[in-house]
């Protein structure tokens, strides 16, 4: 029987949980209670889960907004509607949700499970032709990239954008969105294969070695104060270098600190080093050079979350036309062993694009 089809209502579900902090091998699989969907909520049977770098930070105890342990990580799932809570408005005016309808949803945590309870406002009908892996690979990275580029970064055609970590999930999404919007795109990535892919396949103008001196070659190619927008998920010295490259009216958008996670275990000296090397900006220091510094956390937009649905709808025709695509690096099974393997791949910075967990 297809495990994703709506049938008898389960009282429990299988979930991959964080019970203690540590390396990827500390992830465990448990049978846990499953709540009924409340007002404005949907019960979804999960088919695929997107894995994000923040999941690693959760497991290592370096992510601030998490529930008490034990809990499951996971910000995004693709699945099917199993039950519909009271007072649900439906995906669009005049249409109710249907049991078995394929959807994709954003969560604050809990996605590493066979069943989840999702808020209706953060649940989207799955576009025709998208399989579960594609649907799970798109929401967080493309909506984060969109928010950084356009929601906060105010990018305009003809401007230059620097995408640090361009070979990752958000990075590959940002390169595509920026190119589609008519920006000059420059990136950094850690391997020659990634850099070649970003230039030849995704349209970046130049991609530099993130493990070497990318600052000098980029400044030599473009000149000082030449970048209009920099997207920084790295922190540490990289943030200071981005700031030096910003042109007048340039914007730096900060959305992570991967420099604080150099290995599979929590390393407090590395965390402290990254924290200390990340510059602090006094407001007066931004006035004369005409700079803006912003931060983005996709799941803490509050009332602004409605913009995500508009952005998602805006991007869909571009996926259908082939101008945008999900870049999936590898699929792992939705199990403790599969999730641990997925986390190890991200720790090693081996992924090109998105890593996904698939329910077999």
pTM for the model stands at: 0.93
Q: CA 146 to CA 152: how far, in whole Å?
A: 9
Q: Which domains does the chain have, with CATH numbers?
A: 12-138+327-358 (3.90.180.10), 140-299 (3.40.50.720)
Any residues with CB less than 8 A from the CB of 146 and at least 6 apart, and which? 173, 177, 311, 315
Coil vs helix vs strand at 246: strand
Question: Residue 22's pLDDT is what?
Answer: 94
What is the CB-side half-sphere exposure of residue 131 using CA atoms within 13 A?
A: 8
Question: Residue 8's pLDDT is what?
Answer: 58
Any residues with CB less than 8 A from the CB of 224 and at least 6 apart, and which? 244, 245
Judge contact between 172 and 141, C-beta under 8 A.
Answer: yes
Judge contact between 211 and 186, C-beta under 8 A.
Answer: no
Judge contact between 264 and 347, C-beta under 8 A.
Answer: yes
Question: Residue 138's pLDDT is what?
Answer: 97
Judge contact between 133 and 33, C-beta under 8 A.
Answer: no
Question: Residue 226's pLDDT is what?
Answer: 94
Angle at 260 between CA 173 and CA 54, to 5 degrees: 45
Q: CA 333 to CA 354: how far, in whole Å?
A: 14
Any residues with CB less than 8 A from the CB of 220 and at least 6 apart, and which? none
Coil vs helix vs strand at 199: helix
Q: CA 331 to CA 350: how far, in whole Å?
A: 13
Question: Residue 65's pLDDT is what?
Answer: 84
How many other CB atoms are found less than 10 A from the CB of residue 193? Answer: 11
**Mean pLDDT per 10-residue interval, the chain, length 360 residues:** 51 96 97 96 98 95 90 97 96 94 96 97 93 96 97 97 97 98 97 98 97 94 94 95 96 92 80 86 92 92 87 94 96 98 96 96
Q: Provide the CA 247 distance to its chain's centre, in angstroms.
A: 27
Any residues with CB less than 8 A from the CB of 9 and at least 6 apart, and which? 82, 83
């Amino acid at each position: 029987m297809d495990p994703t089809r709506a049938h008898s209502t389960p009282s429990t579900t299988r979930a991959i949980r964080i019970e203690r902090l540590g390396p990827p091998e500390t992830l465990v699989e448990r049978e846990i209670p499953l709540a009924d969907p409340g007002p404005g909520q949907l019960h979804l049977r999960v088919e695929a889960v997107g894995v994000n770098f923040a999941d690693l930070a959760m497991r290592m105890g370096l992510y601030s907004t998490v529930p008490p342990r034990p809990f499951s990580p996971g910000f995004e799932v693709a699945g099917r509607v199993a039950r519909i809570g009271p007072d649900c408005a439906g995906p669009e005016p005049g249409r109710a949700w249907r049991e078995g309808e394929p959807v994709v949803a954003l969560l604050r945590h809990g996605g590493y499970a066979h069943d989840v309870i999702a808020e209706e406002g953060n649940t989207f009908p799955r576009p025709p032709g998208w399989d579960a892996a594609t649907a799970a690979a798109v929401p967080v990275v493309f909506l984060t990239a969109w928010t950084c580029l356009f929601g906060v970064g105010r990018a305009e055609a003809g401007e230059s954008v620097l995408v640090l970590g361009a070979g990752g999930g958000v990075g590959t999404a940002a390169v595509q969105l920026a190119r589609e919007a008519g920006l000059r795109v420059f990136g950094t990535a850690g391997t020659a294969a990634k850099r070649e892919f970003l230039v030849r396949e995704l349209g970046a103008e130049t991609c530099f070695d993130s493990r070497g001196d990318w600052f000098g070659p980029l400044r030599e190619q473009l000149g000082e104060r030449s970048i209009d927008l920099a997207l920084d998920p790295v922190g540490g010295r990289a943030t200071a270098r981005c700031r030096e490259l910003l042109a007048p009216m340039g914007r730096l958008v900060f959305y992570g600190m991967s420099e604080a996670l150099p290995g599979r275990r929590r390393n407090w000296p590395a965390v402290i080093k990254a924290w200390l090397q990340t510059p602090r900006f006094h407001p007066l220091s931004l006035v004369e050079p005409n700079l803006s510094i912003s931060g983005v956390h996709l799941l803490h937009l509050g009332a602004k979350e409605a913009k995500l649905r508009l952005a998602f709808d805006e991007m869909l025709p571009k996926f259908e036309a082939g101008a945008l695509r999900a870049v999936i690096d590898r699929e792992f099974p939705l199990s403790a062993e599969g999730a641990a393997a997925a986390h190890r791949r991200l720790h090693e910075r081996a992924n090109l694009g998105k890593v996904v967990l698939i329910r077999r």
